[in-house]
């Protein structure tokens, strides 16, 4: 059921069922929670993805074979009903033709009005499956497939930080300026990644994002607060 493979000279990759689903994500979070609760000094970092977990370890404290045995113990007798605490982070978004240049395309493709797209996009608490391809980029699952859209055939060279996009049946947010091929539908004024902040990213894999629609005045207000570190993201425990 679980597969172990070496990742370089100090990493071990654990593969779960190769299905992108909330059930697989929950198993991964349960595993991480158990490891964290009794974390060995040998464990340096734990990096979850859709259906895998990469554990970075100190080979001077524990070799590969011993680390595999150590991690295997947390997978034995799995309790699928074991609760895992998760936070919901409310991220405000300005949806318009300037911040969301691909709203019209998604509207034409789906047959929905822009207002309907916004209402659908803000109606869900999205599960964060993993973070990548740049610091703090959350790959969010659970989006309504009525507003699903393919990636751009030619990616944009520069995307404004805070841009919110859709790719396939996923949605996500660009924390920093970067290239990208997702269909852009809006922008958040929240500073999603700040290397000088502790922690640099508000959320983690296994948490949830809830988007709310705001107007230009509120966007500017939050943006000003963020310049001075004065904006606090609303957060609550997932029920």
**Are the C-beta atoms of 222 and 138 separated by less than 8 Å?**
no
Whether residue 104 has a cis bond before it, omega within 30° of 0: no
**Are the C-beta atoms of 124 and 117 separated by less than 8 Å?**
no
* pLDDT given for residue 140 in this prediction: 98
The structure tokens listed for 168 are: 């396939």
* pLDDT given for residue 229 in this prediction: 84
CA separation, residue 220 to residues 93, 214, 215, 223 (Å): 11, 10, 9, 5
Q: d(Cα 139, Cα 170) in Å, to the nearest integer?
A: 7
CA separation, residue 208 to residues 107, 138, 221 (Å): 26, 10, 24
Q: What residues contact residue 125 under an 8 Å CB cut-off, 6+ apart?
A: 88, 142, 208, 209, 210, 238
* pLDDT given for residue 233 in this prediction: 97
Q: What are the respective helix, strand and coil percentages of the chain, to the nearest 5?
A: 25, 30, 45
Helices (H), the chain: 22-37, 64-75, 103-110, 114-121, 216-227
- DSSP bridge pairs for 5: 13
Q: How confident is the chain (239 residues) per 10-residue block, as mean pLDDT?
A: 93 95 93 92 97 97 96 77 85 98 98 98 97 96 97 97 97 98 98 94 97 98 92 95
Q: d(Cα 167, Cα 179) in Å, to the nearest integer?
A: 14
Q: Which domains occur in the chain, in start order?
A: 3-75 (3.30.1360.40), 87-237 (2.40.100.10)
Q: d(Cα 44, Cα 34) in Å, to the nearest integer?
A: 15
**Are the C-beta atoms of 238 and 128 separated by less than 8 Å?**
no
* pLDDT given for residue 150 in this prediction: 97
Radius of gyration of the chain (CA): 19
**Are the C-beta atoms of 51 and 19 separated by less than 8 Å?**
yes
């Amino acid at each position: 059921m679980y597969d172990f493979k070496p990742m370089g000279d100090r990493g071990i990759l654990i593969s779960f069922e190769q299905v992108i689903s909330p059930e697989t994500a929950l198993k991964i979070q349960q595993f991480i929670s158990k490891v964290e609760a009794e974390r060995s000094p040998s464990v340096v970092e734990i990096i979850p993805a859709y259906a895998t977990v990469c554990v970075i370890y100190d080979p001077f404290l524990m070799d590969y074979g011993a680390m595999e045995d150590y991690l295997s113990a947390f997978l034995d007798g799995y309790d699928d009903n074991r609760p895992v605490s998760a936070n919901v982070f409310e991220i405000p978004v300005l949806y318009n033709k300037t911040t969301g240049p691909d709203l019209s395309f998604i509207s034409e493709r789906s047959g929905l009005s822009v207002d309907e797209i916004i209402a659908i996009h803000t109606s869900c608490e999205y599960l964060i499956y993993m973070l990548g391809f740049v610091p703090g980029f959350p790959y969010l699952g659970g989006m309504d497939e009525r507003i699903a859209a393919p990636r751009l055939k030619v990616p944009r060279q520069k995307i404004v930080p805070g841009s919110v996009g859709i790719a396939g049946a996923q949605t996500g947010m660009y924390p920093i300026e970067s290239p990208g091929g997702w269909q852009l539908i809006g922008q958040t004024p929240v500073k999603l990644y700040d290397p000088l902040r502790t922690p640099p990213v508000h959320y983690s894999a296994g948490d949830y994002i809830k988007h709310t629609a705001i107007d230009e005045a509120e966007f500017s207000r939050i943006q000003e607060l963020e310049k001075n570190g004065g904006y606090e993201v609303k957060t609550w425990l997932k029920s």
